[in-house]
Amino acid sequence: KGLKINNDNNDSMTLMTSSDRYSHVFYDAKTNRSERKLDYDSTENIWQFKNVKDVTINDKSVLKAGDYGIGENFGAPLSDPEKPLLTGFYGVYTPDYESTSKISPSGPGTLAAYRSNYHFSPYIEQLYVVGYYKPKLFSRCKYWTRPPTDWYETVTEANIDRFVMPVGAPILWPRSFAPEGYLKCNGASFDTKKYPKLSYAYYDGKLPDLRNWDNSRNKDRPDSEDISFIYIVKAE
């Protein structure tokens, strides 16, 4: 049931109803193909644009579900991630990039492009990568007339130790006891299976002995509250 409007070039637009749905269906005579363009679902009380590249209201483009990947499971299709992109979110596969030496691990990711207010000016791209249950975020500058810059990894809670203080590096701590998640550098043995990152630094499973040394007595000074500083290492 509905209304069919024929054009002189044999194209047509059909306004049709089915149950509680209402659709605008366009027929292209050249391709002999019909496509739904606008649907209304009265059950959910929503309008949906289908198979439409752009939608304008008052001569201005409006955002709809599916634009630039918003509202889609897999993001907007992206065959060449190295080309300049419009602002939006894109589903990518990191090996498709020309240079992936800094992007690790390789695999699926999400690319966010942030364009500036001038068409040919440089802009920022951010790449979100799934890194073995710990997300990684990379950023770079993209240009229209020259190659993009290298990727730079953002420091996050998941990788801060790698950039600031690796596991196993002694840290000077101003108390006589170690905080939670740390061990004293007192020469004691530790469980290498429980702390694999620490065992990479100390393969013999033994912490370095960096207790305060009393030169006047020529022996280790016992731990007590009056000790100003101790050395600790992160236990992972």
Q: What are the tens digits of pLDDT across the range 109-156?
A: 888 888 877 767 888 999 998 867 778 899 999 888 888 888 888 988
Structure-block tokens of residue 24: 């605008």
Rounded mean pLDDT of 214-223?
Answer: 47
Per-residue pLDDT tens for 22-48?
899 999 999 999 998 888 888 878 888
Show me where the domains of the chain are located.
2-52, 67-161, 165-236
CATH architecture of 165-236: Alpha-Beta Complex (3.90)
E-state strands within 84-202: 88-93, 108-114, 123-131, 134-142, 152-153, 171-173, 182-184
pTM as predicted: 0.49
d(CA 140, CA 158) in angstroms, rounded, equals 20
d(CA 223, CA 141) in angstroms, rounded, equals 52
d(CA 4, CA 219) in angstroms, rounded, equals 99
d(CA 87, CA 111) in angstroms, rounded, equals 10
Q: Which is higher by pLDDT, 58 or 232?
A: 232
d(CA 149, CA 126) in angstroms, rounded, equals 12
The answer to whether 127 and 145 are in contact (CB under 8 A) is no
